Chain A
Amino acid sequence: MSVPLSHVLIVASLMFAMGLGCVVAWRANVIMMLIGIEIMLNAVMLTFVGGSAHWGIADGQLFSLMLMALTSAEVSLALAMVVYLHRRKQTVNTDQFDSMKG
């Protein structure tokens, strides 16, 4: 394939910027914040796979596999916590979870 590496990196960084914007803009909604984190991690995976293909070493693909395992663990724990918090407060609005505020 005759696409330069910089174009892959441009796509990945635009995707990362979108995920960052999603986390910051939807900071009142826990589920949309988690979706933003997913987008950012996928952008990082695209960077790893692009670098791995560019230099012909399998390490980048390996790290994206590790990242996938990390993400599945993180999402299962975070969604369990969302269900737990929703059971307690009946909302996913982060502004309601202020019981530790002094």
Chain B
Amino acid sequence: MEATLFYILAAVLLIGTLLAITARQAVRSIVYLVTSFFALALMFYLLGAPLIAAFEVIIYAGAIMVLFLFVIMMLELESPEKLAKPHFKNWLPALLLAGAVVGALVVLLCSRLQAVPPGFTEIPVRQFAFALFKQYGVAVEVVSMQLLFALVGALYLGRRR
């Protein structure tokens, strides 16, 4: 049951991402990406990470994508007919790189290294929080400083002159 759900979510994720990167308008691309991020959040939940799933919905689909949407609508980009869609010439190196990644994947799957036993263990929020604040307390401080620097930098870049 859970495995079936996982494969359905994987299909939604990959198709949504594919539609997002080939969309003609940036707004449509953002909406497709929000769909695929919701699928990704459910996959995180299935993988036993409920906190990360909640943060994915709140921060990624809720904040970052809405920020993108705000900026795209604020900039009043030129009409979509004038927005240059990449030609086949531009897609060629992208297809080459993606093909290299997929080829490496195929080679890796054909070599059959060693079968790791399937099965995932759920990590309770208690263990997560214990590791976060006991073991990685310095990292939390560093991240808070980083967010402060980003805030100051964004204010500096966005000020009127």
Beyond A3-B3, A17-B98, A29-B83, whether A22 also contacts B21 by CB under 8 A is yes
- Per a CB cutoff under 8 Å, which of B3, B14, B95 touches A1? B3
Docked complex Cα distance between A26 and B48 (Å): 35
Residues of B within 8 A of A7 (CB): 6, 10
Q: Total interface residues on B, using CB and 8 Å? A: 78
Residues of B within 8 A of A3 (CB): 2-3, 6-7, 118, 120
Residues of A within 8 A of B49 (CB): 49, 52-53, 61, 64
Residue contact B123 to A38, C-beta cutoff 8 Å = no
Residues of A within 8 A of B157 (CB): 77, 80-81, 83-84
- Per a CB cutoff under 8 Å, which of A29, A53, A71 touches B123? A53
Residues of A within 8 A of B47 (CB): 1, 8, 49-50, 52-53
Beyond A61-B52, A66-B139, whether A15 also contacts B146 by CB under 8 A is no
Which DSSP category, helix, strand, loop or mixed, fits chain A's interface? helix
- Chain A residue at smallest Cβ distance from B14: A14
Which DSSP category, helix, strand, loop or mixed, fits chain B's interface? helix
23 contacts between A and B (CB under 8 A): A1-B48, A1-B120, A3-B7, A13-B101, A18-B14, A22-B20, A25-B91, A27-B90, A31-B71, A31-B72, A35-B20, A36-B21, A38-B64, A49-B49, A49-B52, A61-B52, A61-B123, A62-B132, A68-B60, A72-B59, A80-B157, A80-B158, A86-B75
| Chain B interface (Cβ < 8 Å from any Cβ of A) | 2-3, 6-7, 10, 13-14, 17-18, 20-21, 26, 29-30, 33, 37, 40, 43-44, 46-49, 51-52, 55-56, 59-60, 63-64, 67-68, 71-72, 74-75, 77-78, 83-84, 86, 90-91, 93-95, 97-98, 101-102, 105, 109, 115-116, 118-123, 127-128, 130-132, 136, 139, 143, 146-147, 149-151, 153-154, 157-158
